[in-house]
Amino acid sequence: MTQWTYVILSYALGISGTIGLIGYCWVALRRAEARLDALKRK
C-alpha cells in the first residue's frame, strides 16, 4: 500500500465524520424545536 492510500482514507474518515456530526446536530436541533413547540402549546 502506498502513502496515498492512507491520505485518501484519512480524508474519507474526516469528511464522513463531519457529515455524521452535522446530521446528529441537525436531528438534535429538530427534537429541541419540537419540544419547545410542545411547551408553547400547553
Q: Which pLDDT score is estimated for 41?
A: 87
Type of residue at 22: I
- Mean pLDDT taken over the chain: 95
Return d(Cα 26, Cα 41) in angstroms, integer. Answer: 23
Q: Which pLDDT score is estimated for 15?
A: 98
Q: What is the pTM of this model?
A: 0.75
pLDDT single digits (tens) 18-38: 999 999 999 999 999 999 999
Q: Which pLDDT score is estimated for 6?
A: 96
Residue 32's Cβ-count burial label (10 Å; 0-12, 13-18, 19+) is exposed
Return d(Cα 28, Cα 15) in angstroms, integer. Answer: 20
